Structures are given as structure tokens and as C-alpha cells.
Amino acid sequence: MPQTLVIAPNWIGDAVMSEPLISCLNKVFGRITILATPWVAPVYRAMQSKPDVIEADFSHGKIELAKRMKLAHIIKDQQFDQAFVLPNSWKSTLIPVLAKIPQIYGYQGELRSVFLAKYLPNPPKKNRPPMVDHYLHLARLINLQLDTLINPRPKLCAEAFIQNQAVDLLQALPHPDKFYILAPGAEFGPAKQWPAGHFAALSKKLLKYDPCSSILLLGSSKDRVICDEILQMIEVNLRPSVLNLCGLASLDQSIALIPKAKGLASNDSGLMHIAAAFGIPQIAFYGSSDPKHTPPLSPFAGILFLGLDCSPCHQRKCPLGHLNCLNQITPQSAFDELNRCITLRNIN
């Protein structure tokens, strides 16, 4: 049975959307190995196929050739027969090439086709296929019949010991067993972020509608400032029911907390895709990004996208300076849609 290595993407959401491909390869080749950065490795540890995970901490935008050569030497000793390279950068092919893995597959990417045994052409910049399909198509390079091998919806599972650690974080809340999650961050940039004031208004609506509940604010340490801002906009008497865990809960712990939530509201982000993989009720705000390309793949997900003439623009910052695509999505519409998704989940 061929030993298989997968070079993981560098974004949390992309890592989640690669799960159907990982599941497909696992069913055909048995346990596989993932080479991933520390910030996406928890996603792969939460996959049901339980791949082996090697963490590689490379600086963004840097080659770090000596570090890659050292890791390639370790990987070479494991005698992999094939590698699937999911990122498009030429740097991502270096380790399998240096490790002399005989069969390397991927998209054509950045001038790297000479290193690939087989490759697919790069997708168009406009009207791109959904990311799940983008990754799954790589299985066609080795003639796998996808329809009989995979469920195209990503699925994750949380380890029990991580769940216990995560629950310990909630003890300061008056209602730690019943909570909603808001994820106001978006690593790509502010053009993907619903306004802090809108998140605060949604928090107040949820706490007043459901007073025996709490709100968790989840995200990375970079999101702590915006979540503190949200907290300050909530009435003093409601603040004890809101907990800012940005930068305090690890991604492993966040993965354990999300399936316990009553509902989740987020931007188009990694946590959005994690919530979809657990099938919890959720809403997702889209502005600069395309909901056809990176939708939350869950029957209990609601998408809030206005489809203005200027969106999706795929820019990090609003090029027109007004961010109407997100500003005009009202907290009331978000509240109504989240409740619709919760009701839908409860009757199924």
C-alpha cells in the first residue's frame, strides 16, 4: 500500500475543506500523514480518519531553505511513495522534492509543474469552484472514483480530554452549559468583518431573548481587541454573561467548544467552517468573499450576503471605503436567521 503524504494548506478554513480529500485517501491507502503548520494542525487532529500529523513551523513568505532541508531529510526516512501538495506556492513543493518522493501531485500553481508527476490546471480567478471540490479533484490524478468514496461535507470530531479542558474555561459564566458563539475575526482582512457594533447588538438581542444563556467570543489573539470593543458596547448588566476567549482558548479547545454551542455567528472564517463540519446552527456574513466558493457546508447554515454590485471584490480592505456589503446586513436580520437555523436543527 503506497505511503501517502499530504502538504496541508495554511488557512484553517481551507484545512477543514480538505477533509473530504483526506477521508478519500484514507479509505484507499490507509492511514496517511499530514505535514501542517501549527496553526492548522489541530484541524487535522480532529478529523475522523485520524491522520498522522507532522508540524512544520515556517514563517509566512520566507523560504527558510535550511529548515526545509532538515525536515525533508526526516521525511525521506519515512519512505513516502506519493505526496499531494494542496497549497499553490512553489515553496510548498520543496519538501517532497527534497525528500525525493517519487510521485508528487497538485495544481500547476506557481511555475512548479516540472516537479509534479501529474497536475491539474489552476482554477479560474473568477467563478472558482467550491474549495471542497477544488481539493477533491486532485484524487482524479490517481484515477479514484470519488462518488463511492467520500461524503463531500467536511466532518470533524473533538477528543474527550480536550472537551474537558475547554469546558473548564467556561466556569466564570453564569450559564456555562448553554451558550452562543460569536466569531468576529477574519484573518484575511477587515473587508470580511461584520462591524463590531453589529456583533454587540446581536449579542444583546440573544441575551435578552434567551436570558438563561451566555455568549462566547472566540478567535485568535489578533481578535481580542475587536472582541473587547464588542464587550464594551454591551450593557453593564449583561456583560457577566459574555466571555472573551480570544487568544485564551487554543484552536484545539475552540474545536471542542463549538459543537456544544446552541448557535454560532461568524464572518467567512476558519471557525465558520469548523462549525459547519459539526453541523451546528450557524449564520455566516459575506462581504468581500464569494459564498459560492467558500460556503459553510451544513444544512443548518444560513448565509447573509447582499450581493451588491461591488461584491464579492476579494479585497482585504473595502476599495470604495464604505463596506456597505457588510454594514447593511442588520443585527435584526442576523438574529432572525440564526433563530431560523436553530429551529431547523431542532426539528431534524
Reference 144, options 179, 112, 105; nearest CA is 105
Fill in the amino acid letter for 257. L
Q: Is 3.40.50.2000 the CATH number for 161-346?
A: yes
Phi, psi of 232 (to 5 degrees): -70, -20
**The CATH classification of domain 4-148, taken from the options 3.40.120.10, 3.30.70.20, 3.40.50.2000, 3.30.70.60:** 3.40.50.2000
The pLDDT of residue 59? 79
Q: Is the pLDDT at 58 greater than 90, yes or no?
A: no
Higher pLDDT, residue 37 or 125: 37
Average pLDDT, the chain: 92
Mean pLDDT check: name the lowest of 166-170, 173-177, 279-283.
166-170
Mean pLDDT along residues 278-290: 95
Please say if the pLDDT value at position 145 is more than 80: no
Q: Hey, what amino acid is at 105? A: Y
pLDDT digits (tens, 9 = 90+) for 312-340: 988 989 999 899 999 999 999 999 999 99
pLDDT of residue 116: 96
8 A C-beta contact, residue 277 and residue 254: no
Confidence of residue 160 (pLDDT cuts 50, 70, 90): low
Query: How far is Cα 44 from Cα 36, in angstroms, rounded to an integer?
Result: 8
Residue 98, burial from CB neighbour count under 10 angstroms (0-12, 13-18, 19+): middle
Q: And the C-alpha cell for 135?
A: 481539493
Mean pLDDT throughout 277-293? 95
Residue 148 is predicted with a pLDDT of 55
Q: What is the pLDDT of residue 154?
A: 95
Res 53: pLDDT: 97
Look at residue 196 in the predicted model and tell me its pLDDT: 95
Q: Quick one: which of 275, 258, 285 has its CA closest to 198? A: 285
The predicted pLDDT at position 147 comes to: 66
Give whichever of 13-17, 166-170, 183-187 has the largest mean pLDDT. 13-17
What is the pLDDT, as a whole number, of residue 189? 74
**Of 185-194, 206-215, 221-230, where does mean pLDDT reach its minimum?**
185-194
Question: Does residue 141 have a pLDDT over 80?
Answer: yes
Give the residue extent of every domain in the chain.
4-148, 161-346
Q: Nearest Cα to 195, choosing from 294, 309, 334, 289?
A: 334
pLDDT of residue 62: 79
Domains 4-148 and 161-346 are alike in CATH topology: yes
Report, as an integer, the average pLDDT of 171-187.
90
The pLDDT assigned to 277 comes to: 97
Q: Which three cell numbers stand for residue 341?
A: 437555523
- Per-residue pLDDT reduced to its tens digit, 85-139: 999 999 999 999 999 999 999 999 988 999 999 999 998 877 788 999 999 999 9
Specify the pLDDT at position 161: 61
* Dihedral of alpha carbons 123, 129, 131, 136, sign: negative
Q: How confident is the model at residue 213 (pLDDT cuts 50, 70, 90)?
A: very high
Q: What is the DSSP-derived secondary structure letter of residue 35?
A: E
- C-alpha 202/C-alpha 22 separation (Å) is 36
Say if residue 151's pLDDT is above 90: no
Query: Residue 85's beta-bridge partner residues?
Result: 7, 106
- State how far the alpha carbon of 239 is from the alpha carbons of 225, 227, 319, 339, in Å: 16, 12, 35, 22
Q: Quickly state the pLDDT bin for 191 (edges 50, 70, 90).
A: confident
- Please say whether the dihedral angle defined by the alpha carbons of residues 336, 240, 245 and 225, taken in this order, is positive or negative: positive
